[in-house]
Amino acid sequence: MFYESKSKDEYWGGDNIVIAPWGDLIICEDNGSRGCKLLGINSEGSLYVIGQVEDSSSEIAGVCFSPDKKTMFLNIQDEGRTIAIFGDWSKISSLYI
């Protein structure tokens, strides 16, 4: 087993998964309630939170990266929103829990 959650508050209901350009797994959480998270897990099995949907009970879905690997796209399902996230991905390790 690569990763096992200690509680539903930490990670619950992974739905979509993609390998990030830097090698981590990026997971869209579908926990059936408010606060669905966009999570990452590195090769050592450390979990980190990239973001969280606070104002909706909708799930995050369809995470993917642009061909140049600089922009991450994700969808907020019920609202029909697509969000583009970009920045310095080399600093992602500062998010490890």
pLDDT digits (tens, 9 = 90+) for 31-75: 666 678 899 998 888 888 888 887 766 788 889 999 999 999 999
Mean residue pLDDT across the chain: 82
Return the pLDDT at 64: 95
- Is 65:18 a contact under the CB 8 Å cutoff? yes
Tell me the domain boundaries of the chain: 14-88
Q: What are phi and psi of 35, to 5 degrees?
A: 85, 25
Return the pLDDT at 97: 52
- Which of 47, 51, 42 is closest to 7 using CA atoms? 47
When computed from its CA atoms, the radius of gyration of the chain, rounded to whole angstroms, is 13
Q: Is 0.85 topped by the overall pTM?
A: no
Cα distances (angstroms) measured from residue 90 to each of 21, 83, 87: 10, 20, 9
Return the pLDDT at 82: 93
Strand partners, 86: 71
